[in-house]
Chains A and B, each alone.
Chain A
Amino acid sequence: MRIVYFISFVIIIAALSLLGSGRRFGVWLAGINESWGAFYEGGTMQVQPAPGAPVERQKYRPPVGRPYGPYIVIDRYCNRLYLRTADTVLLEAVCSVGSGGELVDTATGRRWRFDTPTGVFAVHSMLENPWWRKPDWAFVEEGEPIPRSESDRLDNNMMGDYAIGFGDGYYIHGTIYYRMLGRSVTHGCVRLGDDDLKKLYYRTRIGMFIYVY
């Protein structure tokens, strides 16, 4: 009987995830998704680790107080990312932040706004070799039909070698559009070049403060 309950629970959670309801369950569901190796359901981007790839994560907690060690600062106006302490800049990198643009699906009336959120965040997940699960807007933007098959949504090339999650589906990740670095063209995530991303990833720790302004 217990097995039946357990299987039912698994099916319900999986169904909710596939229907895009993860947002409603917030981070709790996202954490479950990650621990099962399923896709990460977020506000803007959906990322999952490649099969067998290492993932570091913790239950998301909003940052409290002030950072005591290094922290990340993202300057949206200049498209710059800094890893710094109070008095020293450890890494300065050109990045790309959200365009602030809007997308409307004329067929359904759905709307998306592509902003990088501002405020104080904390690193809560770190993935190597991340796969991108293309959300609906990626197809709407290209004028393509939204696929029914999950496999048609997966892209193992777009996000570079690493992804650093800072809540609600927003990531610092790599890119294949190097020429766009330094311009505000993303859908809300923060893109970095390969070298800078690698340097940042290996200096980042779960719980590290991220300031976006």
Chain B
Amino acid sequence: MCTDLAIYKRFGLVVAMVIIAVISWAAKSQSSADKVEGVLKKEGKIYLVVDFFERVMTLKQSGTVLREYAFAMDEDSAVTTRLADDLNERDTTGATIEIVSLLSGAATVPEAELEIICEETHLGEEQIQRYLPTRFAIVINDGPCLHFETEIVPNKKFHLQIVNDYYRRLMMFISGRKTLHIRLAPDDAMSLYGAARDYPKVVFRE
């Protein structure tokens, strides 16, 4: 009887040790992205999660999903995995947006309607007219340039800015910055461009 009890005790001890080992392994294996997101959740501010594997970006606040943006990109997954790991290891409180730049846009209010709306609302044209960002760039501080495109044809007003676009691309090439080309739906582009201008922190997942 006494021997049985000792066996049970030893068995129990072994089981407990296995459980502890599994828990500690699980804790260690928590991805760097999870850790970064954990920090951002507590801050209570809006942040952006870029998931290269699922091809979706999620705007969140305190862990609550505000909006999801499905996207397409041709980048090799090995590159994005390395990029995500590097950025999350380096920026443990989330990557910082350095520049948000509108490269080309399409007017959302027709010229003929604009005047009438301005008269009715007592607002200026610049307040009413919004440009759908057909191409824009989000540059991560000391990280990649996310170059967004939609299928909408840009407005003539923005043609001159294409020169600016090439210049930026050249500068990024010179500085060795990685550029990821991402395709978005027009509505999503509008929303993401607006949200990005508040410079939220960014978490990369792979």
In the docked arrangement, what's the CA distance between A75 and B59, Å?
A: 11
Chain B 185-197, CB-CB to A under 8 Å as 1, else 0, gives 0010011011100
Do B190 and A185 touch (CB < 8 A)?
no
Is B62 located at the chain interface by the 8 A CB criterion? yes
Contacts of A101 in B (CB 8 A): 122-124, 127
Do A184 and B193 touch (CB < 8 A)?
no
Most buried by A among B46, B61, B121, B195: B121
In the docked arrangement, what's the CA distance between A99 and B121, Å?
A: 9
In the docked arrangement, what's the CA distance between A75 and B190, Å?
A: 10
Q: Which partner residue on chain B sits nearest A65 by CB separation?
A: B62
Q: Which partner residue on chain A sits nearest B128 by CB separation?
A: A183
In the docked arrangement, what's the CA distance between A80 and B188, Å?
A: 11
Contacts of A77 in B (CB 8 A): 190-191, 193-195
Closest 10 CB pairs of A and B: A77-B194, A78-B191, A185-B121, A73-B66, A78-B190, A101-B123, A75-B191, A86-B65, A77-B191, A99-B123
Is B141 located at the chain interface by the 8 A CB criterion? no
Task: Please tell me the number of chain A residues within 8 Å of chain B, measured between CB atoms.
Answer: 28
In the docked arrangement, what's the CA distance between A141 and B67, Å?
A: 35
21 A/B residue pairs, CB under 8 Å, sorted by A: A75-B67, A75-B191, A75-B194, A76-B194, A77-B190, A77-B191, A77-B193, A77-B194, A78-B187, A78-B191, A80-B187, A80-B191, A87-B65, A100-B127, A101-B122, A101-B124, A120-B44, A184-B127, A184-B128, A185-B123, A213-B195
Do A120 and B127 touch (CB < 8 A)?
no
Most buried by A among B67, B128, B187: B67
For A213, give its contact among B44, B62, B66, B124 (CB under 8 Å): B66
Chain B, interface residues (CB within 8 Å), range: 20 to 34
Is B64 located at the chain interface by the 8 A CB criterion? yes
Is B130 located at the chain interface by the 8 A CB criterion? yes
Q: Which partner residue on chain B sits nearest A209 by CB separation?
A: B64
Chain B 171-206, CB-CB to A under 8 Å as 1, else 0, gives 000000000000000010011011100100000000
Is B143 located at the chain interface by the 8 A CB criterion? no
Total A-B residue pairs with C-beta atoms closer than 8 Å?
Answer: 67
Chain A 126-155, CB-CB to B under 8 Å as 1, else 0, gives 000000000000000100000000000000
Contacts of B191 in A (CB 8 A): 75, 77-78, 80
Q: Tell me, rounded to whole Å, the shortest Cβ–Cβ distance linking A77 to chain B.
A: 3
Q: Tell me, rounded to whole Å, the shortest Cβ–Cβ distance linking B151 to chain A.
A: 17
Is A171 located at the chain interface by the 8 A CB criterion? no
Chain A 53-90, CB-CB to B under 8 Å as 1, else 0, gives 00000000000001100010101111010101011000
Chain B 97-112, CB-CB to A under 8 Å as 1, else 0, gives 0000000000001000
Given contacts A78-B194, A180-B121, A213-B46, contact A66 B109 (CB under 8 A): no
Do B122 and A67 touch (CB < 8 A)?
no
Do B190 and A71 touch (CB < 8 A)?
no
Is B117 located at the chain interface by the 8 A CB criterion? yes
Contacts of B130 in A (CB 8 A): 183-184
Is B63 located at the chain interface by the 8 A CB criterion? yes
Q: Which partner residue on chain B sits nearest A87 by CB separation?
A: B65
Do B64 and A86 touch (CB < 8 A)?
yes
Is A201 located at the chain interface by the 8 A CB criterion? no
Contacts of A75 in B (CB 8 A): 66-67, 191, 194
Do B123 and A213 touch (CB < 8 A)?
no
Contacts of B124 in A (CB 8 A): 101
Interface members, chain A 86-112 (any B CB < 8 Å): 86-87, 99-101, 103
Do B127 and A99 touch (CB < 8 A)?
yes
Q: Which partner residue on chain A sits nearest B113 by CB separation?
A: A179
Q: Which partner residue on chain B sits nearest A141 by CB separation?
A: B122
Contacts of B187 in A (CB 8 A): 78, 80
In the docked arrangement, what's the CA distance between A23 and B175, Å?
A: 53
In the docked arrangement, what's the CA distance between A179 and B117, Å?
A: 9
Q: A73-B66, A120-B61, A141-B122 are in contact. List 8 more A-B contacts (CB 8 A).
A: A66-B64, A80-B187, A82-B67, A103-B122, A184-B127, A185-B117, A211-B66, A213-B46
